[in-house]
Amino acid sequence: MSQPIKRADFPPASKWKPEAVYPDWKAFETDFEALKARLPEIAKFKGRLKEGPGVIADYFETLEQHLPRGMKLAMFAQFAMAVDNADQQPKAHVGQVMGLMGQFQALTAFAEPELLEIGAQLLEWADKEPRLKIYKHYFDNLLRMKTHTRSTEVEEVMGMMQEPIGQMQQTASELSEADIKFQDALDEKGQKFPVTQGLLMKNATHTDRMVRRTAWENFCDGYASHINTFASNYLAYVKTQVVEMRVRGFNSVLESQLKPFNVPLDVFHNLIDTFKANLPTWHRYWDVKRRALGYDEIHPYDIWAPLGKGSPKVTFEEAVEMIAEGNAELGEEYTSVLRRGCLEENWVDWAPNDTKSQGAFSMPGKENLPPLIKMSFTNDVPAMSTLSHELGHSMHAYFTNHNQPEIYAGFGLSMTLAETASNTNQAMTRAYLRESRREDSEFQLALLEEAMSNYHRYLFQMLNLATFELEVFTRAEQNKPLSAGILQDIMKDIYKAGYGETMTDDPDRTATTWAQFGHLYIPFYTFQYSVGISAADMLTARVRAGEPNAADNYLAFISKGSSMYTMDQFRLAGVDMTSPEPVKAAFGVLASMVDQIEELTS
């Protein structure tokens, strides 16, 4: 029987260094109490911003002193919980910091209404007061969004509500990561294989079809056993977003998520329409893979089945070098920071242990907390690719944090831009390896499989989820019925169209997909992955072709944070995402990879 992999069994080099930030939780609590004691300093500006540009500049300087510390505390506790969900201490501190950040939001709620009372004079003051010059874009955006900003009292209440609303995401996470006990997978001999969040992809790519099937079935069944609780929790969250949308005067939750970044709604709808028009490419891929595997039917648990003899082995250190070499055209600073972060400063907690949460993510870091990555590295090409993706986020955070004030960095960043940076780092790595290892057919097939897994996530799964969100939020906005059964039926119908006639689905299990993705607790986050991968393909082609200023423009792109409107920032990098053409081109790349896989496996 295969035993769960214990976190304690992995060497320190595979884990982050919390002690480099806080020696112990007592030091964390001391910093927490120190920040809590200083937060009232913000209140002294209430009612005074109209006195002039100097007072406003002093307010922003105070904000810049306190906000990064709060963000550091929040990210530290959240990361500690994510890498080891058996540790109870971080969980208590996450709730504690969420309360503090809610208090922070309430204390600063006066600022935007007061600034809006000043009106267009803000832009004049930004020209006169040197300390305000960098905030001119913020003022411009604030004035643009004036009709959606409420009174100080309402903003204060909405700020305080963020903590209990955030608890809904935490509840979903606790259900997924701690409370569900998945049944073990089995091979043909009856040997058991643990099914955990951290081992999800290892089981999905197993060479034994029975392991893949039983792991997938047991994973879905784990969610199905709690589906009513997941639905009740998610629908409560959906309703909070609809209430906030109505309070702020938006026409839809989708608009409430895109308008603050000045992203046209057509960007979303063009993407969904292009996706639906290109579903036959996915149907063809399922059929190519079915024939390559030699099966009469292909099922959802076969999606990640290896086509070759198994992915070539890649150690963590080798992966870091591949990624650095792949992004060498972005310059020495970029690659040296990347290498140092991975190999010396322990940015990456990569041990695939039994108490680690599902998937991978990067946190942007603040002060002496570096941009951190949580993942399960499994010594293969897919793990190398995931690392490359998350390092794209980390490098974006690094360049933004070193070039922008807090108001344009961190969680104020457009998710569309963030997913472009991660996908570009990944696409650059893949393109380099496709060229440098072209004679190694086994490695080439592994790269193609990795790419298809990536495209499957971002140009299939995430777009199915985005379609799901649109339907759910539209129903909620129109006060139509919603329940666990309705959520399941919506998901079934979406996947029925997505899989077509070539995939033999298990609809009741596939219907649980929505519950498996915590992404849904950030409305319409999902589709932004698809924008990102589409933009990344074009940007990678420009940089690797050596187009004039392409690399410099990309570095400028990841250094801007949210100091420009999102679509303008894309144009700075060299791509127009208001047009459907980049998305169509991405599906063209997908179709060409299906051709290559068919050729290599025929």
Q: Can you spell out the DSSP letters for 62-112?
A: HHHHHHHHHHHHHHHHHHHHHH-TT-HHHHHHHHHHHHHHHHHHHHTTTHH
Q: State the pLDDT confidence band at 317, using cuts at 50, 70 and 90.
A: very high
Q: What is the mean pLDDT of residues 479-504?
A: 97
- Percent of the chain exceeding pLDDT 90 equals 80
Q: What is the mean pLDDT of residues 549-565?
A: 95
Determine what percent of the chain falls in helix, strand and coil, rounding each to the nearest 5.
Answer: 70, 5, 25
Q: What is the mean pLDDT of residues 424-438?
A: 94
Tally of CA atoms within 13 A in the half-sphere of 97 that contains its CB: 26
Structural domains in the chain plus CATH codes: 20-160 (1.20.140.70)
Residue 305's pLDDT is: 93
Q: How far apart are CA 384 and CA 291, in angstroms?
A: 27
Residue 198's pLDDT is: 76
Residue 3's pLDDT is: 54
Residue 91's pLDDT is: 87
Q: Name the residue with higher pLDDT: 9 or 395.
A: 395
Largest CA distance in the chain: 78
Element containing residue 552 per DSSP (H, E) = helix 550-557
The C-alpha angle 218, 224, 229, rounded to 5 degrees, equals 140
The alpha carbon torsion through 274, 557, 517, 406 (nearest 10 deg) reads: -140
Q: pLDDT tens for residues 523-537? A: 999 999 999 999 999
Mean predicted lDDT score pLDDT of the chain? 93
Residue 414's pLDDT is: 80
Q: What is the mean pLDDT of residues 193-204?
A: 87
**Residue 571 φ then ψ, to 5°:** -65, -35
Residue 2's pLDDT is: 45
Q: What is the mean pLDDT of residues 359-384?
A: 91
Residue 410 has pLDDT above 70, yes or no: no
- Percent of the chain exceeding pLDDT 70 equals 99
Q: State the pLDDT confidence band at 134, using cuts at 50, 70 and 90.
A: very high
Residue 86's pLDDT is: 82
Residue 358 has pLDDT above 80, yes or no: no
Structure tokens at 22: 């806080």
Residue 35's pLDDT is: 95
Residue 14 has pLDDT above 60, yes or no: yes
Residue 4's pLDDT is: 56
Q: State the pLDDT confidence band at 411, using cuts at 50, 70 and 90.
A: low
Q: What is the mean pLDDT of residues 434-457?
A: 91
Residue 428's pLDDT is: 97
Question: Which residues contact residue 264 at a Cβ distance below 8 angstroms, ignoring those fewer than 6 apart?
Answer: 258, 567, 578
The alpha carbon torsion through 574, 579, 580, 583 (nearest 10 deg) reads: 20
Residue 412's pLDDT is: 64
Q: Which residue has the tokens 């020209």?
A: 127
Residue 491 has pLDDT above 50, yes or no: yes
Q: Decide the pairing of beta strands 348-349 and 372-374.
A: parallel
Residue 105's pLDDT is: 86
Residue 73 has pLDDT above 90, yes or no: yes
Q: How far apart are CA 177 and CA 355, in angstroms?
A: 8
Q: What is the mean pLDDT of residues 205-226?
A: 96
pTM given for the model: 0.85
* Neighbouring-strand partners of residue 186: 192
